[in-house]
Structure 1
Amino acid sequence: MHPSFTPPRQVKIGDAAAFAGTTSRAIRHYHEIGLLPEPERGGDGRRRYGYDDMIRLLWIRKMADAGISLDDMRAAFDEARDIEEDLGRLEEALAAKEADVKRQRAVVQRLRAVGSPLGLLSEPVTDRLGHLPPGALRPSDLDTLLVTERVFGPLGAAVQASVFIVLATHTDLRAEDDRLDAAEAALDDGVDPHDPRVEELAAQRYAHHKALEKAIEAAGLDTDEEKLFETYDADLKGEEPAQKSACEAVTKMPHDFSPARIRCMELAAELLGQDHSADS
């Protein structure tokens, strides 16, 4: 050290923050929570920080860079406490953060590869639909898959994707699907739930669903669905929707359907349920 240079015995908060690589606001917060003892103020009413204060502040910055929480820092400075449990929690938090970063990178890669909002959906869905030409999927298709993924999880949405693959490759089925969507939307225009058209439309929707099932089987997509579970089931453990069940999740999703439209949906579901009961 140059003999003519003499370090200050104490520094102001701004100089202390600059030296430690933090901010004055952060230092004040450390004082408020008891992490850094507040030094006495000088004659001008300002805090003055000495050598011991700076050492403590530097250790705080090191621990913050390591990801240690402020609460656990207090434990680290308390020599009477064993911080092994705190370090264990830190390791768990870092592992979870690493997993989040890994998932985020995977989403970015899918977005780059797919080049559309489809890449924001889970890997089983994007893999299943990635071979379709650009524009084959409508925004409303992606909306439906988004909701399905939230309610039934990635594999449920991947199975639902079979319908959109068929609709994208069969113009006649897409046209019928559009016709039924329009007819069902018209039920919202004050139609009585017991109007004969409601039951008739439910039967048409049921017939259309059966036609979609046949097209899915003819294309071998039902076999692909079995491979989906073999490929992704183990990898997706712990990624189920936050809701306790699909039924509960559905009740959380708002809608603007009329009573007539809801009854139409229920009647179509009953017809499909009868099929499943007969098959079992």
Structure 2
Amino acid sequence: MHASFVPPRQVRIGDAAAFVGTTPRAIRHYHEIGLLPEPERGVDGRRRYGYEDMIRLLWIRRMADAGIALEDIRDSFQTGTTSGGAEGGGGVADVLERLEETLTEREAELRRQRAAVERMRTEGSRMGLLSDFVTDRLRNLPEGTLRQADLDALLVTERIFGPLGAAVQATRFIALATHPPLREDSDRVDAAEEALDDGVAVDDPRVARVAAERHAFESALHAVIEESGLDEDDDALFDAWDALHPDPAHDGEDEDDPGSGRREEGSMSAVEAVGKMPYDFSPARQRCMELALELSFQGSPAT
């Protein structure tokens, strides 16, 4: 993300619907049936959606796509053709052909939904809703080492950058899951960043100090990834993705969109998606992120 870009802390219902891939009408229905709590409204009286609202909407969309009824999704959250001539028969044949196509599509959709349910039962209700490409990357992790926040982050990344982007991001969580001291350091830095709330000024000394801590942690994390060979696994991910999804029309990525060719078909661009996904970062925390990014650039070898 460019250092000068400030993501929205809250978005309107239209942007929320566009990011999730649904409609404002559907979101209003979620409110009506108690599936999604009513968010706070801005001074103009319109609903405003934050990060947690978007996470819940993404899970709702994935579960609904898997064929789960909205009522069941709500409960889970509360508990954890034209007729032809009579003689020619052409119209009837056309109708039968369309009906056969419809049934074939339904059968394929049922198989997809059954596979999704089986994956949810096998991999866990949340992990099973991520794509196979991401789930396979996490399959050998010790039980209980992957957190809900990790899955939330992968869900968002997969929506923006596609399964490949999320699979690459999974390397970070693999390193954290398999190196407890590193996870402790991550929790400490995360807590320090979260403490940079709206009551902290952007020029407060704590901002620069936490940025330095973030930079040091990210350097340590990168070193662990290299030492453990996880970076080589990342290289293999790109090869595996290209083998599964050959694209003869493009020899490389779209430089203007790192997620090009690797997201869901018909999804928005990464730039569009980032602009519609709210993160509740205070100005001080945003400045901390910018400083940490500057430190990483300073430490990078000259090119």
Whether TM exceeds 0.5 here: the answer is yes
Does structure 1 retain, via aligned residues, the 8 Å contact 2:158–2:263? no
For the pair 1:74 / 2:101, whether they are aligned, the reply is no
The 10-residue stretch of structure 1 (218-227 or 151-160) with the greater mean CA deviation from structure 2: 218-227
- Segments of structure 1 that go 5 or more residues without pairing to the other structure are 1-72
Residue 293 (structure 2) aligned to one of 259, 269, 273: 269
2:113 alignment partner in structure 1: 104
Residue 141 (structure 1) aligned to one of 150, 156, 160: 150
The 10-residue stretch of structure 1 (173-182 or 84-93) with the greater mean CA deviation from structure 2: 84-93
Provide the C-alpha distance between the structure 2 equivalents of 1:270 and 1:95, rounded to a whole number of angstroms.
54
Please state whether the residue corresponding to 2:268 is helix, strand or coil.
coil
Greater length-normalized contact order (CA 8 Å, ≥ 6 residues apart): 2
2:277 alignment partner in structure 1: 253
Residue deviations 1:204-260, cap 9 Å, x none? Answer: 212211111111111111111122222233535776145432222111111221111
2:171 alignment partner in structure 1: 162
Answer with 1 or 2: which has the greater Rg: 1
Task: Return the letter of the residue paired with 2:82.
Answer: R
Does structure 1 retain, via aligned residues, the 8 Å contact 2:198–2:284? no
Provide the C-alpha distance between the structure 2 equivalents of 1:142 and 1:198, rounded to a whole number of angstroms.
28
Following TM superposition, by how much is the alpha carbon of 1:122 offset from its aligned partner in structure 2, in angstroms?
0.8
2:184 alignment partner in structure 1: 175
Provide the C-alpha distance between the structure 2 equivalents of 1:91 and 1:216, rounded to a whole number of angstroms.
52
TM-score by structure 1 length?
Answer: 0.63
Residues 116, 274 of structure 1: alpha-carbon distance in 2 compared, 3 angstrom cutoff: farther
Residue deviations 1:19-58, cap 9 Å, x none? Answer: xxxxxxxxxxxxxxxxxxxxxxxxxxxxxxxxxxxxxxxx
1:31 alignment partner in structure 2: none
* RMSD, aligned α-carbons: 3.2
Q: How does 1:107-256 map to 2 (within 5 A)?
A: 107-235=116-244, 240-241=263-264, 242-256=266-280
Residues 225, 88 of structure 1: alpha-carbon distance in 2 compared, 3 angstrom cutoff: farther
How many residues align structurally? 207
Provide the C-alpha distance between the structure 1 equivalents of 2:204 and 2:94, rounded to a whole number of angstroms.
66
Following TM superposition, by how much is the alpha carbon of 1:120 offset from its aligned partner in structure 2, in angstroms?
1.0
- Segments of structure 2 that go 5 or more residues without pairing to the other structure are 1-80, 247-260
Following TM superposition, by how much is the alpha carbon of 1:133 offset from its aligned partner in structure 2, in angstroms?
1.8
Following TM superposition, by how much is the alpha carbon of 1:273 offset from its aligned partner in structure 2, in angstroms?
4.4
TM-score by structure 2 length?
Answer: 0.58
1:55 alignment partner in structure 2: none
Please state whether the residue corresponding to 1:233 is helix, strand or coil.
helix
